[in-house]
Structure 1
Amino acid sequence: MKRTTSAIAAITATATATAAVVVGLGLGFATPAAAAASPPLVTRAALDAALVAGRGADVPFLEQEAESARTTGSVIGPDRTAYTLAAEASGRTAVRLLPGQYVEFTLPKPANALTVRYSIPDAPDGGGITAPLDVTLDGRSHRSMTLTSQYSWLYNQYPFSNDPGADLLHPDWWITECQCVPSATTPSPAITKPFRPSHFYDEQRLLLGRTLRAGDTVRLTAPKGTRAAWTVIDLLDSELVGRPHVNLRAANVLLFGADPTGRRDAAPAFDRAIAFARAHHLPVYVPPGVFQVNRHVVVDDVSIEGAGSWYTVVRGHQVTLAAPAPDGSVHTGVGFYGKDASVGGSTNVHLSGFAIEGDVRERIDTDQVNGVGGAMSASTIDGLYVHHTKVGLWFDGPMHGLTVRDSVIADQVADGVNFHTGVTDSAVRNTFVRNTGDDGLAMWAETTQNARNTFDHNTVQSPVLANGIAIYGGTDTTVSNNLVADPVREGSALQVGSRFGAQPFTGHLWITDNTTVRAGTYELNWNIGLGALWFYALERDIDADVQVVGDAFLDNTYNAVMLVSDWPVKDLYSITNVHLKDVRVDGTGTSVVSARAMGSATFENVDARNVGAVGVNNCGSFHFTAAGSEFALTDLGGNDGGGTTGPWLAPWELPNTITCADRPGVVPPPAPSRW
C-alpha cells in the first residue's frame, strides 16, 4: 500500500530462490514424517507456548503444526528462502501430500470447528484451481472441503500479477537474478517464468456440526483423483465455538429483506436496517446466514451485531466500476466504511460478531476494496473475521478513539490493519493476523501526524511481504506485548521507519515486552540481512525517545537489531536516542546489533546467547574515520552472554569501534529454549 520507488525496488530475490520454486515446485520435499508424539503438540507461532506466555493475542483456537502430526506425506523445510513454500509456512515447515496421502491431527481439547491452512498449485495460466480435501473425524464420519488457489499465487514485481507468464512489469528496474538493468540489456535478460511466485497459502474454516472430544483425530486426505498434483498442509487450528449470539431488541436485517442464503443482493436491506436502527436508537442484528453484499455499506452512529464470525458471513463479489471513482478505485466490493474524513468522518460505529469474506485476487493500490475503511471516531471493531479483502482494516484520518479487538484477519493481498494519516488515541488489541501481502499492522503518519496509538497483545504470523508491525512516524506510540513470527521478504518483525513521506517521530516510542521469532529477511537490493527490529532512517532523522524494554528476539535469521540509513542519504540522517533495556536475544544468524548509520544507542541488561557472528557489526556511515564509527554504543551494564566470538558487547567494541563485516557469514542458530 505504501507506493514509493524505494519500496518497489526492494521487492527482489535471488535466482536460486526463484529456481527452487520453479523447478517442479519441489522445494526440497523430504521423506515421510514420523508419527506424532503424545500428547498432541500445541504451539503458538510454531513455538513452545511457554516461550511466549503472556504475549500475542489470546485466541480461542489451538494451533497444531502439520509437521508434528502423523502423516504419510513428506515434510518440506525448514527453509527461509523467499519464493518457496516452506518459507511462507508457519515455522518455515509444512507437509506435502500427494493424492492418497494424509496428515492426521489428534485434538488436544474438544472442538467443533476447524481452520486448515494449505496451499495447492495454481492453474498453468494463472487464476487458480479448486480441489477437494477429505476430512475424516475420529475415523468414523467424513466431511469434505473444497480448497482453492484462486486467492493465492502472485507473481512478478510490485504490484504483482496473477499471470505466471507475465513479462517484467517494470523493465527499467535492477533485477537481482540477472544483475542487470533490463531496459539497458540486449538481448533481454534470461528471467525464468513464472518469475518470483509468492503468496502461496490460504486458509479455510469448517464448522463440524458436532463436538469432537480431546483425543479424537482429524485426518486430512488429498483424495485420489484430485485435480491438485500436490496439497501442502501447514497447520490446523481447532476451536470450540459457542452458540450463536441473538439480539431480539434490534433491527434484524431479515425484516428488511436480506436473503440469508446469499443468493440475492442484501446491500439494500442492510441500508434500510441501518436507517431504521438509527431512527429508533437500536442496533442492527445480522443473524446466522450468508449475506451477499457487493459494495460498501456506509456506517455512522450505528451498531451492527452478528451471531458470531462462524455463523454470520457477509460475502461479496469484486465488481468492476463503469468508470473510476473519484478516489481512483476501479473496483468495489464488500466492506463496511465510515464516511470520508473530508466530510467529517463517522462516529459511534460498533461492528461485532461477523465475518467479511471478500473476493480480491489482485493488488490495485487505488482500489478501496478493504474489509473496513473510511474514518471512524469513538468506535469499536470487535470479534470480526476478515478474509480475502485487499486490506483487512484501513483507516484514513483524521479520526480518533477507535479500538480494534478480538478479531482475526487472514489472507489479505496487502496490509492487515493500517492507521493512516492523522489517527489518534486508537488501538489494536488482542487481534490475530496471518498471511498478509504487506505489513501485518501499520501506523503510517503520511501528511498528518498520528498520535498516542497502541498495538498491544496482537499476533502477526507470516507476512509475505514487508513487516509484521511497522511504525512510520508518530507521536507517543506504544507497541507492546505482541508476538510476531516469520516475515518472509523485504521486511522485519518490527520496523521503525522514517519513510513513505511519514511525519517525524516525536515524543516517545515504546517497544516493550514483544517477542519475535524467525525474523529478519534478506534485503536483496542491499544484499544484506535485516534485523528482527529494524530502524530505517530514509527520509528524516529518527531522534524521538525510543525505549526498547523487555523484548525477546528469538531465532533471528540475521541480526536481532539493525539501525540503517540508505546509502544516498547516509550522511544526511541519523538514528539517536535509542535505549535497549532488559532484552533477551536467543540466537542470531549474524550479530546482535548491526549499525549502518550515524547515531547512538544505549544498552542495559541485554542478554544474548547463540550469537553467530561478532556481537556488534558497526559500519557507521561507512567513512571508517580514524576517530571510529559514526555510530556509538553505550554500555550501561548487565549486558551478558554472546557466542563463539566472545561477549556480544565486548569492551573493545565501545563506544564506536569499527567492526564492519559488510556481509558476514550466517550461522543458523539452534531452536530457542527457555532462558
Structure 2
Amino acid sequence: MAAAVSFSTLTAATAAGAAPHSAPARVTRAALDPSLVSGRGADLGFSEQEAENAVTNGTVIGPGTDAYTLPAEASGRSAVSLKPGQYVEFTLPADANAITVRYSIPDAPTGGGITAPLDVAVNGRDHRNMTLTSQYAWLYNEYPFSNDPAAGPLHPDWWTTECACVPNATTPAPTFATPFRPNHSFDEQRLLLGRTYHAGDVVRLTAPAGSTAATTTIDLLDSQQVAAPKVDLRAANVLLFGADPFGYRDSADAIDKAIAFARKAHVPVYIPPGVYQVNRHIIVDNVTIEGAGSWYTVIKGHQVTLSTPAPDGSVHTGVGFYGKDASAGGSHNVHLSGFAIEGDVRERIDTDQVNGIGGALSDSTIDGLYIHHTKVGIWLDGPMTNLNITNNQIADQIADGINFHTGVTNSAVRNNFIRNTGDDGLAMWSEKTADANDVFDHNTVQTPVLANGIALYGGTDLTVSNNLVADPIREGSALQIGTRFGAVPFSGTIKVANNTTVRAGTFELNWKIGLGAIWIYALEHSIDADIEVTGDNFLANTYNAIMMVSDFSVKDLYSITNVHFSDIKVDGTGTSVVSARAAGNATFQNVQARNVGAVGVNNCGSFHFTPAGSEFTLTDLGGNTGSGTTGPWFASWELPNTITCDDRPPVVAPPAPSPWS
C-alpha cells in the first residue's frame, strides 16, 4: 500500500508536463504485482491498471478502509478523483480494442442518480464519449437499503452502531445524520474502441469542463483485445423470428420462437451482434443459446412492476434466463454462452426474481457471459446437479454474484471474475438441503460491498481452491465458513486450498472488532466437519488473518472443532495471525507469518477465562515460523490454550505485500 501511494504521488506531481508514451504501463492484479498472486484467480484476458498508479492531474484519494467512503470501495483501497477539466491517463501494456472503466460519480441530491460525460482519447486524438451514470449506484441506510439519501432509519427498533439510536424508539438520537451509510458507490462501463491500439499507446480519460458531476472518481481501467464476433450459420438465428437488434422493440417473443424451433430441429439458437430488448424471463430447457460474444450481443431489459405480486413474492420482473423451478423438475441440458445481460435493478427487494440467470439447471453450462446490473448474477435454486459455470464476468450487482442455493450438487464455478457485488461474491447456501460435492476454483472476487468474497453456509464435501479475493468492505471478509441463515450443518470434508486474499480481515461494524481474512463462524450449529485450510496466502490483512468465532449469545452452545491449517503464508496483519473467540480446537502446521501487528494468537475462547485456560485449544504440528509483537507468533507459552485475550488490540497498518523468499 505504501509503495503504491508513493508511486501515485510521484506521477501526479509530474503529470502536467507529461507527454504521451512518457509513463510505463503498470499492470496489476487486485492492485498487486501479478507475481504475488500467480496461479490464483481468474484469467479472462484483460489487463488491470489502477488509476492511483497512472499519470493524472487529479487527486489521489486513499488508501482507506473506513466503510461508506470511496477509498474503501475502490480496488486497492485507492482511486483518483477528477474535477471538471482534469484527467487520468493509462499506457496500454498490450494490443487492445476495448476498455472497461470503473468509476464513481455523485448521486442526485434526492437520489436516483445523474449522468455525466467522460471523454476518452487515445494518443491525444481519436476522441470518444462515454456517458457515465450513478443510476445503479448509491444505496443508503440499513438492510435492505434505500435509494433515498434523506431517509431516516428504516428500522427504528434496530440497534444501529453508527448513530447510537435507542432500540424501540421512533426518533433517532441527534447524532443521526443523512445521508446515512452511503454505499455501493462504484459502477463500470465497457467501450469498444473501434480499432486496435498497441502497447505504449496512451488512453486519457478526461472529465470535461462543465461536467454535470462535481467529481468523477476513476478506480481503474481494464484493457483487452476482443476477438471478432462469432458467427453460426447452422443455428436458429433470432433475426429470422422477428428479433430487433436495435433494441426498439421487445424481442422476448422472438427469442421464445427461436428456442421452440431450435429444440425441434436440434440446432442451437444464435443471437447475432446487436442490443435486444427483453423485459421478462426467457425460460430455457434442453436448448443451446449462443451469442456473438459478450461485447457484441447484449440482452438488455427494463425492470417491470407487476400489477399484482407473483406467487413467489416478486413485485417486479426483468431480463433473465431461467430454468424451470426445481418443484417442476427443473431444466436440463441448457447451454448459454457468448452474450451480455444488462439489467435495470436499482433497489434491493429480496423477493424479486430479477437475476441474470435463475431457476434450476442440471447437466448444463454457462460460459462467457457478462452480467451487469441485475439483482444476483446467477442464483440457482436446487435440488439440481452437474452445472458448470465458466469464464463469465459479473459486475455491479445489488446482491450476490453467484449463489448455489439449496441442494446444488456436483457443480463447479471456474475462472469467473466478479466485482462490486452488494452481497457475497460467491456463495454456497445449504438452506434446508445440503449443497454437496461442489467446487469454486480459480475465480477472482473484488470489492464485495457487503458480506464475503466467498462464503460457505453449510454443506457436504465442498472445495474452495485457487481463488483470489480482494478488498471486502463491510460485515464480512474474504472467506467464510459459517453455520447461519438456516443452513444445514457442515459434514464430510471442507477444503479451502491455495487461495490468496488481499486487504481482507475487515472491521465488523456491529461487533466493533476485526475479522479474519478467513473466518469460521458458529452461529446456528457447532462446526465439527473436517475443515482443511491448506496452501492459502493471506496478504495485507487489515485486522486478523484467521478467526474462529461464535456469536456471544450462543457461545456456550456451539463450538468449532476439527479445523486444520497447513502450509499457510501470512504477510501483514493489523492485529493477530489467529483470533479465537469460541470454544473448540484447531491444528497448525507450516504457518509462516511476518509483519504481524499484535500478539500472534489472540485467544479469548468463550470468554469464561477459566483457571484451566481458554476453551479453545491450538495444537502446534511444527514448522510455524515468524513473529508477533511478543516474539514467535505461535509461541510455546501460548499453547495449547493460554488466555491471551485482548478484545480490541491496537491496529498497526501492515506494509505492502512483497515476494516471499
The TM-score bracket by the shorter chain reads over 0.9
1:143-197 per-position Cα deviation (integer Å, ceiling 9, x unaligned): 0000000000000000000000111100001121233325337674431001000
Residue number in structure 1 paired with 2:105: 120
Residue number in structure 2 paired with 1:267: 252
1:329-387 per-position Cα deviation (integer Å, ceiling 9, x unaligned): 00000000000000000000000000000000000000000000000000000000000
Distance, in Å, in 2 between the alignment partners of 1:501 and 1:553 is: 29
Is the Cα contact below 8 Å between 1:318 and 1:359 reproduced in 2?
yes
Residue number in structure 2 paired with 1:627: 612
When the two structures are superposed, what TM-score results if normalisation uses the length of structure 1? 0.95
Is the Cα contact below 8 Å between 1:30 and 1:74 reproduced in 2?
no
SS of the aligned residue for 1:362 comes to coil
1:50 aligns with 2:35: yes
- 1:32 is displaced (CA, Å) by 8.1
Question: Which of residues 47, 58, 64 is equivalent to 1:62?
Answer: 47
Distance, in Å, in 2 between the alignment partners of 1:224 and 1:187 is: 41
Residue number in structure 1 paired with 2:560: 575
Residue number in structure 2 paired with 1:233: 218
1:620-657 per-position Cα deviation (integer Å, ceiling 9, x unaligned): 00000000000000000000012332110000000000
Residue number in structure 2 paired with 1:418: 403
- 1:59 is displaced (CA, Å) by 1.6
Is the Cα contact below 8 Å between 1:30 and 1:76 reproduced in 2?
no
1:271-309 per-position Cα deviation (integer Å, ceiling 9, x unaligned): 000000001101000000000000000000000000000
- 1:485 is displaced (CA, Å) by 0.2
1:457 aligned partner, one-letter code: H
Is the Cα contact below 8 Å between 1:182 and 1:188 reproduced in 2?
no
Residue number in structure 2 paired with 1:33: 12
Residue number in structure 1 paired with 2:654: 669
- 1:617 is displaced (CA, Å) by 0.1
Distance, in Å, in 2 between the alignment partners of 1:363 and 1:31 is: 41
- Identify if the C-alpha distance between structure 1 residues 187 and 356 changes in structure 2 by more than 3 Å, giving closer, same or farther: closer
Q: CA RMSD in A?
A: 1.2
Distance, in Å, in 1 between the alignment partners of 2:171 and 2:52 is: 46
Residue number in structure 1 paired with 2:189: 204
1:101 aligned partner, one-letter code: Q
Distance, in Å, in 2 between the alignment partners of 1:243 and 1:113 is: 12
- Identify if the C-alpha distance between structure 1 residues 38 and 104 changes in structure 2 by more than 3 Å, giving closer, same or farther: closer
Residue number in structure 2 paired with 1:517: 502
- 1:608 is displaced (CA, Å) by 0.2
1:250-272 per-position Cα deviation (integer Å, ceiling 9, x unaligned): 00000000000000000000000
1:656 aligns with 2:641: yes
How do 1:112-511 residues align onto structure 2 when only pairs under 5 Å count? 112-184=97-169, 188-511=173-496
Is the Cα contact below 8 Å between 1:299 and 1:339 reproduced in 2?
yes
- 1:525 is displaced (CA, Å) by 1.9
Is the Cα contact below 8 Å between 2:269 and 2:290 reproduced in 1?
yes
SS of the aligned residue for 2:264 comes to helix
Is the Cα contact below 8 Å between 1:55 and 1:481 reproduced in 2?
yes
1:98-142 per-position Cα deviation (integer Å, ceiling 9, x unaligned): 000000100000100000000000000000000000001111210
Distance, in Å, in 2 between the alignment partners of 1:507 and 1:122 is: 47
1:389-412 per-position Cα deviation (integer Å, ceiling 9, x unaligned): 000000000000001000000000
Distance, in Å, in 1 between the alignment partners of 2:576 and 2:655 is: 15
- 1:501 is displaced (CA, Å) by 0.4
SS of the aligned residue for 2:602 comes to strand
1:5-39 per-position Cα deviation (integer Å, ceiling 9, x unaligned): xxxxxxxxxxxxxxxxxxxxxxxx99982458853
Is the Cα contact below 8 Å between 1:563 and 1:594 reproduced in 2?
yes
1:81-108 per-position Cα deviation (integer Å, ceiling 9, x unaligned): 0000000000000000000000010000
- 1:313 is displaced (CA, Å) by 0.2
SS of the aligned residue for 2:193 comes to strand
Distance, in Å, in 1 between the alignment partners of 2:122 and 2:165 is: 54
1:447 aligned partner, one-letter code: K
- Identify if the C-alpha distance between structure 1 residues 350 and 519 changes in structure 2 by more than 3 Å, giving closer, same or farther: same
How do 1:4-23 residues align onto structure 2 when only pairs under 5 Å count? none
Distance, in Å, in 2 between the alignment partners of 1:184 and 1:504 is: 37
Is the Cα contact below 8 Å between 2:111 and 2:147 reproduced in 1?
yes
How many residues align? The count is: 647
Distance, in Å, in 2 between the alignment partners of 1:73 and 1:550 is: 40
Distance, in Å, in 2 between the alignment partners of 1:273 and 1:494 is: 42
SS of the aligned residue for 1:262 comes to coil
1:520 aligned partner, one-letter code: G
2:341 aligned partner, one-letter code: I
Is the Cα contact below 8 Å between 2:318 and 2:343 reproduced in 1?
yes
SS of the aligned residue for 1:495 comes to strand
Distance, in Å, in 1 between the alignment partners of 2:407 and 2:545 is: 31
1:529-563 per-position Cα deviation (integer Å, ceiling 9, x unaligned): 10000100000011110000000000000000000
Distance, in Å, in 2 between the alignment partners of 1:183 and 1:524 is: 20
How do 1:549-560 residues align onto structure 2 when only pairs under 5 Å count? 549-560=534-545
SS of the aligned residue for 1:218 comes to strand
Distance, in Å, in 2 between the alignment partners of 1:497 and 1:35 is: 49
Distance, in Å, in 2 between the alignment partners of 1:549 and 1:490 is: 25
Bigger mean CA offset, 635-644 vs 361-370: 635-644
Is the Cα contact below 8 Å between 2:426 and 2:455 reproduced in 1?
yes
Is the Cα contact below 8 Å between 1:32 and 1:74 reproduced in 2?
no
Is the Cα contact below 8 Å between 1:35 and 1:69 reproduced in 2?
no
Residue number in structure 2 paired with 1:76: 61
- 1:413 is displaced (CA, Å) by 0.4
Q: Percent identity?
A: 75
1:477-518 per-position Cα deviation (integer Å, ceiling 9, x unaligned): 000000000000000100001000001100000000000000
- Identify if the C-alpha distance between structure 1 residues 147 and 187 changes in structure 2 by more than 3 Å, giving closer, same or farther: closer
What are structure 2's unaligned runs of at least 5 residues? 1-7, 16-21
SS of the aligned residue for 2:247 comes to strand
Distance, in Å, in 1 between the alignment partners of 2:421 and 2:131 is: 22
